[in-house]
Amino acid sequence: MTGFIVFAHGSRIESANQSVRDVAHRMAIAGGHLVEPSFLELGEPDLAGAAARLVARGVSRIVVIPYFLTLGTHLRRDLPKLVREAAESLGSVEIEVSLPLDGHPALLDALLDRAKDHA
């Protein structure tokens, strides 16, 4: 069974972290998936904690979806290290990372929708 982690940066503003938790929850409901939020810093759970929660729920494969727009330093340097560490600690669980949100066709629709509100 596959589980998903929505991986965000994290913020000192708890309402920003809660919005990530909310989108992960909505993803779980809309897609019928097992989904956990996680944060690089300034939020809980971290990637290892979210992965452990999914394994406890019975998953054997995890896909990390970066809740980042572009492939910057955190996704190039920090996320691969965190994924390696989580995979090592969990043993036989396969963990892979999807592309960031940049380039997804729905982003254009979201931008146009925001512009429409102010045109």
> Hey, which residues are catalytic here?
9
3-state secondary structure of 9: coil
Percent helix, strand and coil across the chain, each rounded to 5? 50, 20, 30
Helical (H) or strand (E) element with 26: helix 14-31
